[in-house]
A and B are shown apart, each in its own frame.
Chain A
Amino acid sequence: MMRDPGSMTPHDWSQDVFDAMKARGIGTVATVPDGGLTRLLKLCEADGETRIVTLTTEEEGIGITSGLWLGGQRGMIAMQSSGVGNCINALGYAATLRAPCLMLVTMRGQWGEFNPWQVPMGQATRTVMEAMGVKCFAVDQATAVGETFAAAADLAFNGNFSAAVLIGQRVIGVKGFGR
């Protein structure tokens, strides 16, 4: 996990994302959780004002955030990279409605992955999203996640685009499966 220069404490990118959400009135997080999202989701829970919508599959989040926007609210989707594959057709739905679709994606199958089953979708995540017109912002430094998320959120909500922040496995740390 990325640490601040001269510090042994991992940089708290989840807090940065949460602060950027609050500053922009993003009041709902639709999610199929991932290990890398644990702290952000805890911050949202503890907040008491941020609504967490637990999904069965990630594409539901695209309908929900589109509906929130239609109703005048801002939401986002938080998911693991494998969930991006579940979203492909739904990404066209948001694009056709010109509904902003903001996604925070924690990457797997990437930097030193232990589990080969994660590799195909992880390696294809950005290609698939870009094929569907999503503006992708990859970030590999914990200290840059917050500003990258803020920039992607502003692009999405100011212009009614789909935008995704892809948080590299280098930031999150490799899941070790006890090894």
Chain B
Amino acid sequence: MTSSNYLKRRELVSALLARREGTLVVPGLGSPTWDCFAAGGSPEYLYSWGGMGLAVPTALGVALAQPGRRVLALTGDGEMMMGLGSLAVVGAQAPENLGILILDNESFGETGRQAGLTGIRADLVAMASGAGIAKTLAVTRMDQIDALADLMFHQAGPTFATAKIALTDEPWALPEKDGAVIARQFRGAIEAGVLAE
């Protein structure tokens, strides 16, 4: 596959989030956070500007605490590789309400496009399977979007997918960066969801 065939990250994230139906989203630091904000923004997104490696653990905590809500961890390949062990923790806890999607551009895009490990031999789908996450999907085409949304938002989890995306420069889309404000809004959105039931 040549670079020009890779998915457009903003188009993919926007199409996926349009199908989320109230799913809480924990994006990883940097580009996945910008992608979520660019797609429209929501207090149900826990924007992140730091804590590399913690997107999946944080999403796991939310999923365990809120078994009635679907939760999506949406992060990059470098961020996932830093927290790889957390896939085994997810495999052990086996939350039915957690989906994990890796936006995989095989690069450290945020820091100068240095080559990442998933472009060499590391296979995140195989690693997730090996960690005990049974339902996985490798996405390479936009016509897989409905299958991806079904896996992330509807099938009994934990579920895991990678989407091979192009290494691109997107327009800046920077959300709130005060963590206390982000956390308060996210907690408020969860409480509002509980009250609405």
Task: Give the contact stretch, choosing among A40-48, A91-99, A105-113.
Answer: A91-99
In the assembled complex, how far is the CB of residue B141 from the closest CB belonging to chain A, in whole angstroms? 32
- Chain B residues with Cβ under 8 A from A57's Cβ? 85
A123–B67 Cα gap in the complex (Å)? 41
- Chain B residues with Cβ under 8 A from A62's Cβ? 54, 57
- Chain B residues with Cβ under 8 A from A28's Cβ? 64
Tell me if B152 is interfacial: C-beta within 8 Å of chain A: no
Which of B46, B52, B62 has most chain A Cβ within 10 Å? B62
Q: Mark B49-72, 1 if CB is under 8 A from A, else 0.
A: 011111111111111111001000
Determine whether the beta carbon of A73 is less than 8 Å from that of B52: no
Tell me if B149 is interfacial: C-beta within 8 Å of chain A: no
Tell me if A90 is interfacial: C-beta within 8 Å of chain B: yes
Determine whether the beta carbon of B58 is less than 8 Å from that of A53: no
Determine whether the beta carbon of B53 is less than 8 Å from that of A59: yes
- Chain B residues with Cβ under 8 A from A63's Cβ? 51, 53-58, 60-61, 83, 86
- Chain A residues with Cβ under 8 A from B182's Cβ? 97
- Chain B residues with Cβ under 8 A from A90's Cβ? 51, 53-54
A-B contact count (CB 8 A): 113
Tell me if A75 is interfacial: C-beta within 8 Å of chain B: yes
A99–B26 Cα gap in the complex (Å)? 15
Could you jot down 29 A-B contacts, CB within 8 Å? A53-B64, A55-B89, A56-B86, A59-B57, A60-B83, A60-B85, A61-B57, A62-B54, A63-B51, A63-B54, A64-B61, A66-B61, A67-B57, A67-B58, A67-B63, A67-B64, A70-B58, A70-B61, A71-B63, A72-B190, A73-B64, A75-B61, A90-B51, A92-B51, A93-B50, A93-B54, A96-B50, A97-B180, A98-B180
A55-B85, A64-B64, A72-B187 given; name 16 further pairs at CB < 8 Å: A56-B86, A59-B57, A62-B57, A63-B51, A63-B60, A63-B83, A67-B61, A67-B63, A67-B65, A70-B46, A70-B61, A72-B66, A72-B191, A90-B51, A96-B180, A97-B179
B residues within 8 Å of A by Cβ? Answer: 26, 46, 50-66, 69, 83, 85-86, 88-89, 92-93, 179-180, 182-183, 186-187, 190-191
